[in-house]
Structure 1
Amino acid sequence: MKTRSMALALAACALSASAQQAPAPQERGPVAADALLHAQQVHYPTPYGAMDAAEVKAVLDRVFGYLDQVTPAEVIDQRTGAPIADLSKPDPNAVLKPGDFRLTSYEWGVTYTGMLAAGAATGDRHYTDYAIQRHQLLSRLTKTYLPLVQADREHAAAPIKSFLNPHALDDAGALCHSFLKAKLAGSSVDYGQMIPICADFVTKKEYRLKDGTLARGGPDGHGGVKMRPLPDTLWLDDLFMGVPTIAYLGKVTGDARYYDDAARQVLQFSKRMFNPRLGIYMHGYVEGLRDHPELHWARANGWAVMAMVEVLEVLPKDHKDYGAVLEQLRAHVKGLASYQTKDGFWHQLIDRPDTYEETSATAIYAYAIARAVNRGYVDAQAYGPMANLAWNAVASKVGSNGRIDGICVGTGMAFDPAFYAYRPTSVKAAHGYGPTLLAGAEIIAMNRKFKFGLNDSALMYQGVRD
């Protein structure tokens, strides 16, 4: 929705740019009727301009208010609902207090990372504390329940068992990424047990193809093969679910083998799944299959582009594959740019305008493109305006209560368009909240670093701020 303050800010932007409009005609005499048509007021369904930091923060504050209310950081007795204050002793009836979202899902790993970014961008400790307080709770529960789970993985009861006994990258990777980022930022939480759980699963236990590429559909432990949904399947999602964690392990430990693995994953996924002609990725790939019907799901492309900016954040610039990863990011950003809609969004299937405009992917692209601009991976002149438009589109979906509309629910992999086109959307789909926090934080940083204003009615780059 377009707030009154945002409208005033954009109007001020337009007035301040009046000196940069088209030059006055040089002919003498009465002005022709068509002379000023280019300056007519335009109705943009998505507000057109660059939000200032206060406007962005107002959007993020609404999101924070909702999430803080509906994700209690508390353990209760599942029989009585009574709070359990002493977490030093295991209790078979202990569960996390239910809320709208789970505190240990991969989506909430992204949300913790988004909260950390929002805190850094705005200077507001409420965001940072949200992530740190929940990390602290998970750390305390890990100390208490990990020995039980390790002793009996099948029957042990624990409030965060999916994390303590991960079965898929979704259980560990994005959470670990948030732990590693918080640790590098100076968090006082003891991550000494939690990070090894994630690192061990992501780097040693998750199934891989023969060349080391992270995959799904490996042995099921009973002599068969997991059908996820087919044997030896790559999901583009897994570029984010595992690879940033691998790269950040390199940063935290100093072990260059993690960097090698992270870069190799980006390049091997891209070799199989990136369409250089279209500039976007297919969602699913099955090793050994002759033909791959290409379905270019928006959020999966978001996970891919976000994975690349996260890997480049820590990959040493003198690494042998740094240049290749950077060029892959640039190719993807260029491809994505060509599919942005007139209202700032991207479609559920990126290259299918007959599918709906989807919010979580748009938020991820706003974040990743703004981050690429801020780090100098891509030109601010070319991509800053579209990042601002994407952010304004996302902001228009944030209600006054902080809930976000237009988020596709959890989605598997398919080889037909109907599956993706008819996936429902819901304000309870957790996938859009972390990306919105990340996008807002990065847009604040971008517009603080660079100036974007109206020039001859178009939003354009106007230089580096003093």
Structure 2
Amino acid sequence: MLHALEVHYPTPYRAMPAAEVKAVLDRVFDYLNAVTPAELINKTSHAPIAKLDKADPDAVLKPGDFRLTSYEWGVTYAGMLAAGAATGDQLYTDYTIKRHQLMADLTRLYLPVVKADTANAQAPIKSFLNPHALDDAGALCMSFLKAKQSGARVDYGQLVGVCAPFVTEKEYRLSDGTIARGGPGADGKPKMRPLQNTLWLDDMFMAVPTIALMGKETGNSKYYDDAARQVLQFSRRMFNPQLGIYMHGYVEGMRDHPELHWARANGWALMAMVEVLEVLPKNHKDYKAVEAQLRAHANGLARYQDKDGLWHQLIDRPDSYLETSASAIYAYALARAVNRGYLDKEMFGPMVNLAWNAVASKVNAKGEVEGICVGTGMAFDPAFYYYRPVSTKAAHGYGPVLLAGAEVIEMNKKFKYGLNDSGLMYQGQQQ
């Protein structure tokens, strides 16, 4: 019968078995474990430092392909924890714990030195110990809190003591309390990044999960209130309800704003919402509003998925290139939302599998992730986004791939799925 003819899908049209998902994750792990050494060396001689018992100004982290204290690596640490939980492979968990322990040891030695002389002190993790932006503290703090709350045996007291107050109290905000950039610098003049009083959609993720997790950590409802308020105030300004997606930037005081819907920033926003809902008490006054915003965004993104599984760099402009990191974030966040019951498995399960299979095809034989847009500020014209380079050395894609694979394993363990009249369908719980 003609309707049963074999179809040649460019992206495999099936739910990937857990063992195959793990094989993809294993390639990523092997690559990252090899190129991100958790070691110290002398900055002049490059000789290894086996044991550090004082704040040596000449000690530095051994260089690798990626920095161990970047916000991207905060996401990677969370991804390793998730992969360890989903696969049962302790190697993933140990990757994060080893590097967290190194950071805790360095914080104990160097924090007093940096506090005493922030301008001149030398430390292997100085950007973390003396944070100046959410990028220095937010995602790393999220990973510390996730690890601590999952029972990791690292003393996270000083680490969280550095990053949590910066995110929750010191980062610049607009007059209504919304996390923003473009506040006053050391000279009293506004930091023009790019303009005064600018909201970056990225900052929903850079700040809000940490704020929410501090609610769980402390039991203080002010953090839950703030996290939910951030989601709703960002969304009020930046979400386009007709399109179902967010603009990348908003500048207070402008009458018009650049409606450029950058994919990865939309991923950070989606991820922020699932992370907030993970810890926000269900009886919180804003819980339903955050969940409704998540569903509105998920349904908007569903309209734009490419036929072969990925999303475009500018979501609603199909002549922009297909981008891997955003697609991996969507796969993770949508799968998590299905697993937690925020979204219907029947609608989003097949979409997630198509996305994951497409993302998995971007992991090469070495374990590098291809098609990742490099770091990207905000701009007011499409050319900026269309022509951003891609690179396997862009750190933004690795954590999302680990998170996506882990959550897909959990989703396909939880729900029944299979082909029904040639279409991939989800039908009920696994027994």
TM-score class, shorter: over 0.9
Matched residue, 1:332: 297
1:154-183, CA deviations, whole angstroms, 9 ceiling, x for partnerless residues?
Answer: 100000000000000000000000000000
Distance in 2, matches of 1:460 and 1:68, equals 36
Distance in 2, matches of 1:463 and 1:385, equals 14
Distance in 2, matches of 1:64 and 1:365, equals 21
Distance in 1, matches of 2:258 and 2:199, equals 14
Could you tell me how far 1:223 is from its partner in structure 2? 2.6
Query: Moved runs in structure 1, 4+ residues, more than 4 A?
Result: none
1:231-252, CA deviations, whole angstroms, 9 ceiling, x for partnerless residues?
Answer: 0000000000000000000001
In the alignment, does 2:329 pair up with 1:364?
Answer: yes
Amino acid at match of 1:367: Y
Matched residue, 1:118: 83
Distance in 2, matches of 1:121 and 1:86, equals 34
Q: SS of the residue aligned with 2:264?
A: helix
Distance in 2, matches of 1:274 and 1:196, equals 33
In the alignment, does 2:189 pair up with 1:224?
Answer: yes
Matches within 5 A, 1:267-346: 267-346=232-311
Distance in 2, matches of 1:81 and 1:224, equals 40
Amino acid at match of 2:79: G
Distance in 2, matches of 1:436 and 1:229, equals 29
Could you tell me how far 1:349 is from its partner in structure 2? 0.1
Q: SS of the residue aligned with 2:157?
A: coil
Could you tell me how far 1:84 is from its partner in structure 2? 1.1
Distance in 2, matches of 1:413 and 1:347, equals 17
Q: SS of the residue aligned with 1:193?
A: helix
Amino acid at match of 1:210: S
Structure 1, gaps ≥5 residues long: 1-35
Could you tell me how far 1:462 is from its partner in structure 2? 2.5
TM-score (norm 1): 0.92
Matches within 5 A, 1:145-294: 145-294=110-259
Amino acid at match of 1:242: A
Q: SS of the residue aligned with 2:419?
A: strand
Which deviates the most, 51-60 or 455-464?
455-464
- 1:88 touches 1:140 (CA, 8 Å); kept in 2? no
Amino acid at match of 1:91: D
Matched residue, 1:40: 5
In the alignment, does 2:404 pair up with 1:439?
Answer: yes
Distance in 2, matches of 1:115 and 1:199, equals 21
Distance in 2, matches of 1:89 and 1:223, equals 36
- 1:274 touches 1:280 (CA, 8 Å); kept in 2? yes
Distance in 2, matches of 1:56 and 1:80, equals 42
Amino acid at match of 1:174: A
- 1:250 touches 1:259 (CA, 8 Å); kept in 2? yes
Q: SS of the residue aligned with 1:230?
A: coil
Matched residue, 1:6: none
1:411-437, CA deviations, whole angstroms, 9 ceiling, x for partnerless residues?
Answer: 000010000000000000000000000
In the alignment, does 2:313 pair up with 1:348?
Answer: yes
Distance in 2, matches of 1:48 and 1:427, equals 26
Distance in 2, matches of 1:290 and 1:425, equals 33
Determine which of 383, 388, 407 is the counterpart of 2:348.
383
Amino acid at match of 2:134: L
Matched residue, 1:99: 64
Could you tell me how far 1:127 is from its partner in structure 2? 0.1
Distance in 2, matches of 1:42 and 1:231, equals 53
Amino acid at match of 1:125: Q
In the alignment, does 2:390 pair up with 1:425?
Answer: yes
Determine which of 407, 414, 428 is the counterpart of 1:449.
414
Could you tell me how far 1:463 is from its partner in structure 2? 2.0
Amino acid at match of 2:234: F
Distance in 1, matches of 2:119 and 2:371, equals 38
Provide the identity percentage.
76
1:324-363, CA deviations, whole angstroms, 9 ceiling, x for partnerless residues?
Answer: 0000000000000010000000000000001000000000
Determine which of 44, 47, 71 is the counterpart of 1:82.
47
Could you tell me how far 1:87 is from its partner in structure 2? 1.9
Distance in 1, matches of 2:185 and 2:211, equals 24
Structure 2, gaps ≥5 residues long: none
Could you tell me how far 1:153 is from its partner in structure 2? 0.5
Distance in 2, matches of 1:458 and 1:121, equals 27
Distance in 2, matches of 1:224 and 1:234, equals 18
1:428-463, CA deviations, whole angstroms, 9 ceiling, x for partnerless residues?
Answer: 000000000000000000000012211111111132
Q: SS of the residue aligned with 2:318?
A: coil
Distance in 2, matches of 1:324 and 1:333, equals 14
Could you tell me how far 1:272 is from its partner in structure 2? 0.2
Matched residue, 1:17: none
- 1:77 touches 1:84 (CA, 8 Å); kept in 2? yes
- 1:76 touches 1:84 (CA, 8 Å); kept in 2? yes
Amino acid at match of 2:160: I
Distance in 2, matches of 1:43 and 1:196, equals 54
Could you tell me how far 1:221 is from its partner in structure 2? 2.1
Over aligned residues, Cα RMSD in angstroms?
A: 0.5
1:118-157, CA deviations, whole angstroms, 9 ceiling, x for partnerless residues?
Answer: 0000000000000000000000000000000000001000
Could you tell me how far 1:309 is from its partner in structure 2? 0.1
Amino acid at match of 1:84: I
Amino acid at match of 1:308: M
How many residues align? The count is 431
Distance in 1, matches of 2:342 and 2:282, equals 12
Distance in 2, matches of 1:293 and 1:375, equals 34
1:98-118, CA deviations, whole angstroms, 9 ceiling, x for partnerless residues?
Answer: 000000000000000000000
Q: SS of the residue aligned with 1:460?
A: strand
1:170-228, CA deviations, whole angstroms, 9 ceiling, x for partnerless residues?
Answer: 00000000000000000000001010111110111110000000000000121311101
1:15-34, CA deviations, whole angstroms, 9 ceiling, x for partnerless residues?
Answer: xxxxxxxxxxxxxxxxxxxx
